[in-house]
Chains A and B, each alone.
Chain A
Amino acid sequence: MMMRTATSVVAALALLSATAALGQDSGAGKRTFSSGYRFVEMTGEELFANVCQGCHMPDATGASGAGTYPSLAGNKNLEAAGYPVFLVINGRRGMPAFGDMMTDGQIAAVVNYLRTHFSNNYQDAVTTKDVQDARR
């Protein structure tokens, strides 16, 4: 089993004069850091805030440069739950594969969070078993 310990740090933003602009952030000032290769975050909300929003942004609307991170907000591709489950496990194009970094339960949690937030309202929750079956 992987180590499940996590280190938490209260980012003392106010005390430090970092040059970077302060942007909006869905974390509540307290962050979780994993200790190994795999993520220790367990809830869908925390997984989104600590992983997905890196590319898809805190409001899930994505971003665009020379290429694009798609918006996940009000996204019809999330209707069939198997699609986001497959993408999180296997990755594709700019999307890295997270199958080895998250458990079945974590993948189910983050997919369920996405499918019920950011103007998505799909109530048929993904189960751990669904994720397990989606792995080859």
Chain B
Amino acid sequence: MQNESVIRRRDLLALIGTVAGSSAMYHAMTSLGFASESAYKGPLKLAGDVKGASVLVLGAGLAGMTAALELRKAGYKVQILEFNSRAGGRNWSIRGGDSFVELGGFRQTSQFEQGLYLNPGPWRIPYHHRALLDYCRRLNVTLEPFIQLNHNAYLHATRAFGGKPQRFRSIKADFQGGVSELLAKVTQQGRLDETVGKEDQEILLQSLRDWGALDRDYKYNANLVSAEFRGYARDPGGGLMGDPLPSEPIPLQELLRSRMWRYLQTFARYDFQTTMFQPVGGMDMIGKAFAREVGDLIRYGAKVTQIQQNGSGVTVSYVDTASPSTVQQATADWCICTIPLPILSQLPVDVSAPMKSAIDSVPYAASVKIGLQFKRRFWEEDDAIYGGISYTDLPIRQIAYPNYGFNRGGRGILLGAYMYGGANSFEFTAMTPAERVASAVEFGAAIHPQYRNEFENGVAVAWHRVPFTLGCAGEWTEATRAQHYRNLCQIDGRIVLAGEHASQLPAWQEGAILSALDVISRLHERVVKT
């Protein structure tokens, strides 16, 4: 690879097409951002005679309810068994007065003010999750923007800048400026002559000045050009308020050592690019909208204890969570099981050895979310942070600001901690809910000292202690996917699994829905053809 720098993307694609065939080229195009963006092909059309077939769906989360909605529409007889006394599963919002008992018996009753909520599970929807967006549209779920990137939110590192949080916009501008200055320097020294032609070097310098906010001499300095990106020491005003003053950039060396650059790319990832959405009023508006469609099919408070099948159908044993001594049974021709794998792996299930092995081999990620209510929206009033996320290397990892009720007086709720995977997720899970909340307040005060005076109450959800999942979401590795994924997704006799764990988008609601759509398409094909 001597000349890799001169190869253009189109040439690369042509080369891949020639050497490896069109499917490889399609794959490459997809990974380079061309071609289809979504696996979703629009509303499902299940044509043909279903011959009175019945389907038992286990779990009334988004996967289960998507399956039920579409199957009933196609003429199937559908029944859903749900462990909880509500629909939605991990699609869940906690509001004032809501009570929740986690494993171990720790009860929390939310004291959130009316109108405020915490989404302990999914909380944002990428623009390319077309299936979920389509269901929101069809089921009349109103969306609003989810602010993922806020240039005025903070980046915080315990051992950098004396622990003082920095504005995202300053770090971003200074990193771009510092790197641009460096690259401009080596360009001008002729050190790129062998890889970049003279004419292109001129364009490169122009682009670096533009992208890095460099001055006439290709230096990144405190001036009103860099201030337009990193912010001012004194903002432009009116009349005789005084001239705007530039702010002082952070030297590149200090910025590099702060490690704060590692947060910059978070916002550029496909999953987190703007525009993102959230339902108005809480994520559970989606679960509730589905339940309006299929709620009459749901048997609540049903804890599944065994799943059996034979050549003619499935029999599922379950107990009512209120009177667990009596075992009841539900039967159907087919079973779509969306029960999370930590639970399903413990049940006696009649499936083939490869599927059983797959069910046993996918651990669930540890994750914790903590909602904190404050007397006033100081992040807006004092810090001018309207929505978005601050990142920190403290165990709380993130502070996310509400993306609703902007610029309004009164109380507000912050997401005071969000860990996903890693040691801190387990450490917070091992605490009592009260301890988690107290720690989130303690840590968060390092970024927002207002915490100490304004904090009122909080709710902490640690997903490994959630009785209906025993974990947050399927945690696949390259190795487990290679070994088990196809086995997990097969139709095994009359049983098939669906849910985010049976998708390539683990932990996303889109994965749950796409998994369900894929499963019912395959199942329907089998039913119609036999």
A49 adjacent to B438 (CB under 8 Å): no
A63 adjacent to B438 (CB under 8 Å): no
Interface of chain A, main secondary structure: loop
Which residues of chain A from 1 to 47 have a CB within 8 Å of any chain B CB? 7, 9, 11-13, 16-23, 25, 27, 31-40
Chain B residue with Cβ nearest A11: B438
Complex Cα distance A54/B340, Å?
A: 18
Complex Cα distance A19/B370, Å?
A: 12
Which residues of chain B from 23 to 38 have a CB within 8 Å of any chain A CB? none
A68 at the interface (CB under 8 A from B): yes
Chain A residue with Cβ nearest B365: A96
B364 at the interface (CB under 8 A from A): yes
Of A71-79, A86-94, A108-116, A119-127, which binds chain B? Answer: A86-94
B422 at the interface (CB under 8 A from A): yes
- Given the interface contacts A18-B437, A20-B459, A20-B460, does A54 sit within 8 Å of B430 by beta carbon? yes
Taking residues whose C-beta sits less than 8 angstroms from the other chain, chain A's interface range is: 35 or more
Q: Within 8 Å CB of A37, what residues of B?
A: 421-423
| Nearest-Cβ distance from residue B339 to partner chain A, whole angstroms | 7
A81 at the interface (CB under 8 A from B): no
B431 adjacent to A31 (CB under 8 Å): yes
A17 adjacent to B103 (CB under 8 Å): no
Chain A residue with Cβ nearest B426: A51
- Given the interface contacts A55-B103, A55-B465, does A94 sit within 8 Å of B364 by beta carbon? yes
**CB-contact partner of A9 in B103, B340, B442, B471, under 8 A:** B442
A107 at the interface (CB under 8 A from B): no
| Nearest-Cβ distance from residue B301 to partner chain A, whole angstroms | 11
B107 at the interface (CB under 8 A from A): yes
- Given the interface contacts A12-B438, A66-B467, does A19 sit within 8 Å of B111 by beta carbon? yes
A68 adjacent to B346 (CB under 8 Å): yes
Q: Within 8 Å CB of B431, what residues of A?
A: 25, 27, 31
B432 adjacent to A23 (CB under 8 Å): yes
A57 at the interface (CB under 8 A from B): yes
B343 at the interface (CB under 8 A from A): yes
B139 at the interface (CB under 8 A from A): no
The residue in A67, A69, A97 that gathers the most chain B C-beta atoms within 10 A of its C-beta is A67
B233 at the interface (CB under 8 A from A): no
Chain A residue with Cβ nearest B361: A92
B423 adjacent to A18 (CB under 8 Å): no
Q: Within 8 Å CB of B437, what residues of A?
A: 16, 18-20
B464 adjacent to A55 (CB under 8 Å): yes
Complex Cα distance A40/B341, Å?
A: 29
Complex Cα distance A9/B158, Å?
A: 14
A21 adjacent to B103 (CB under 8 Å): no
Q: Within 8 Å CB of A128, what residues of B?
A: none
Q: Mark B303-324, 1 if CB is under 8 A from A, else 0.
A: 1100000000000000000000
A54 adjacent to B106 (CB under 8 Å): no
B462 at the interface (CB under 8 A from A): yes
Which residues of chain B from 365 to 402 have a CB within 8 Å of any chain A CB? 365-366, 393-395
Q: A39-B423, A94-B363 are in contact. List 18 more A-B contacts (CB 8 A).
A: A9-B443, A12-B442, A16-B437, A17-B456, A19-B108, A19-B109, A19-B457, A19-B459, A20-B108, A23-B104, A23-B433, A23-B434, A50-B426, A54-B464, A55-B464, A69-B470, A95-B363, A101-B423
- Which positions in B face A, CB cutoff 8 Å? 83, 103-111, 158, 303-304, 339-343, 345-347, 360-361, 363-366, 393-395, 421-424, 426-427, 429-439, 441-443, 455-460, 462, 464-471, 475
- Which positions in A face B, CB cutoff 8 Å? 7, 9, 11-13, 16-23, 25, 27, 31-40, 49-55, 57-58, 63-69, 91-97, 101
| 5 closest residue pairs by CB, A with B | A65-B467, A20-B433, A94-B342, A67-B343, A54-B429
